[in-house]
Amino acid sequence: MIGRAIIQTYNIDAYAINLAAKQDYSAFFKREMQYRHECMYPPYSFLVKIMFMGTNKDRVLAFAESIRRHILNESQGMWLEILGPVEPYIPKRFNKYRYRIMLKYKDKVAMQELLQNLRELTRNEPIDVHFDTSPYNEI
């Protein structure tokens, strides 16, 4: 069944828009996999999102930065890319300021050990910390 769709976009030259309009799914898949490989996104790596929340914006950011430094120190010899800390799309929610760190990595076992260490390290802190090991809506 042939239908009709109206798509609003800021970038009419985006490959996803053009290939969708042509219904060229195999070309879209090929281009998307190439992009993901270049950027080391899944399935070529794994992602973890660490969200920090608290009532004092400066303290939340300072704590997130200290965790970033800790991750750098503990991940020697491991392929890891750290993005952030940055404010998420919604920087304040339920009266709490938020910052996030995204981790891209390849070694699941080493990351599980690092995350366990981070959970212990952040357990009794006044800043709320949440770990999302499947943040695929962030890509």
Question: Which domain does 81 fall in, by range?
Answer: 46-138
Query: Which pLDDT band holds residue 60 (cuts at 50, 70, 90)?
Result: very high
Average pLDDT of the residues of the chain: 92
- Give me the pLDDT at residue 139, please: 64
Q: Residues 53, 119: one domain? A: yes
Q: Residues 92, 64: one domain? A: yes
- Give me the pLDDT at residue 6, please: 84
Q: Residues 76, 25: one domain? A: no
Give the CATH number, domain containing residue 85.
3.30.70.600
Q: Residues 17, 73: one domain? A: no
> What's the half-sphere exposure (Cβ side, CA atoms, 13 Å) at 30?
5
Q: 53 in a domain, yes or no?
A: yes
How far apart are alpha carbons 122 and 128 in whole angstroms?
Answer: 8
Residues 77-107: tens digit of each pLDDT: 889 999 999 999 999 999 999 999 999 999 9
Q: Residues 53, 117: one domain? A: yes
Say yes or no to pLDDT of 137 above 80: no
Cα dist. 37→83, 99, 119 in Å? 17, 27, 30
Q: Residues 69, 122: one domain? A: yes
Residues 18-30: tens digit of each pLDDT: 998 888 999 999 9
Number of domains forming the structure of the chain: 2
Q: Residues 110, 134: one domain? A: yes
The residue that leads in pLDDT, 136 or 79, is 79
Q: Token match 């993005």: residue?
A: 83
